[in-house]
Amino acid sequence: SYVLTQPPSVSVAPGQTARITCGGNNIGIKTVHWYQQKPGQAPVLVVYDDSDRPSGIPERFSGSNSGNTATLTISRVEAGDEADYYCQVWDSSSDHQVFGGGTKLTVL
Amino acid sequence: QVTLRESGPAQVKPTQTLTLTCTFSGFSLNTIGMCVSWIRQPPGKALEWLARIDWDDDKYYTTSLKTRLTISKDTSKNQVVLTMTNMDPVDTATYYCARIHSNRYYFDYWGQGTLVTVSS
């Protein structure tokens, strides 16, 4: 089955840029989606189809995907961005949805 | 406005069968392309996709739990039901249902989740 690998944690100071990676075999040919989950809440879609944002998601959230790594970039990080972030793809070979292990973003 | 809400027992005993219901509004599972999935999250751990049911009644299950899971829908009630047999303490988790489109493959709306504890 397809495996997505994320760093367990990323730390960044307010106002700086956070980059959260999602590694997978040739992930660049798949479309990647990203979710933000704050404690005690359900996940929220923040980026879909590699780099598109749902309505209501700030432009500070962006995504890219190439080769074996997809990246969620959060510019001008705010305290309210502190959360767990998950990447997700559809594995066409099994018709399964696959999530990464999640990354905890800490705002210093 | 799209909403989903999970319901079911907060606690089950080991070996029992869990039945969870997802009641949704704002869309129909009669609409081509509409699907609903179940996803779970053990305390402090990552999200795990469990199952999906499509508008045409196609069903998909995660390989590791395929023998224990059954997903079904009642379009007249706007509900999707997940059953999981032979529950074990490791199945303790928050269970979410979420909407997904068959040709987009991302979860755009989620329920608030329901915590199920497996304990004797």
pLDDT tens-digit map of B14-33? 999 999 999 999 999 999 99
Which of B87, B86, B52 is closest to B72 using CA atoms?
B52
Rounded Cα distance, A105 and B75, in Å: 39
Kindly indicate the confidence band of residue B55, based on its pLDDT and cuts at 50, 70 and 90.
very high
Query: Phi/psi of residue A30, each to 5°?
Result: -105, 165
Beta bridge mates, A15: none
- The residues, ordered by sequence, that sit 6+ positions from B64 with a Cβ below 8 Å of its Cβ are none
Question: Hey, are the CB atoms on B110 and A86 less than 8 Å from each other?
Answer: no
The answer to whether residue B69 scores a pLDDT higher than 90 is yes
Q: How high is the pLDDT of residue B88?
A: 97
The answer to whether residue B36 scores a pLDDT higher than 90 is yes
Rounded Cα distance, B78 and B25, in Å: 7
Q: What is the largest CA-CA distance in chain A?
A: 41
Question: Hey, are the CB atoms on A102 and B46 less than 8 Å from each other?
Answer: yes
The answer to whether residue B104 scores a pLDDT higher than 90 is no
- The residues, ordered by sequence, that sit 6+ positions from B120 with a Cβ below 8 Å of its Cβ are B13, B14
Chain B hits for A33, CB-CB cut-off 8 Å, are 105-107
Q: How high is the pLDDT of residue B93?
A: 98
Counting one residue from chain A and one from chain B, the pairs whose CB atoms sit within 8 A come to 58
Interface test with B, best of A1, A94, A97, A99 (most B CBs within 10 A): A97
Q: How high is the pLDDT of residue B80?
A: 98
Question: Hey, are the CB atoms on B96 and A86 less than 8 Å from each other?
Answer: no
Mean per-residue pLDDT, B75-99? 97
Give A90 to chain B, closest Cα distance, Å. 6
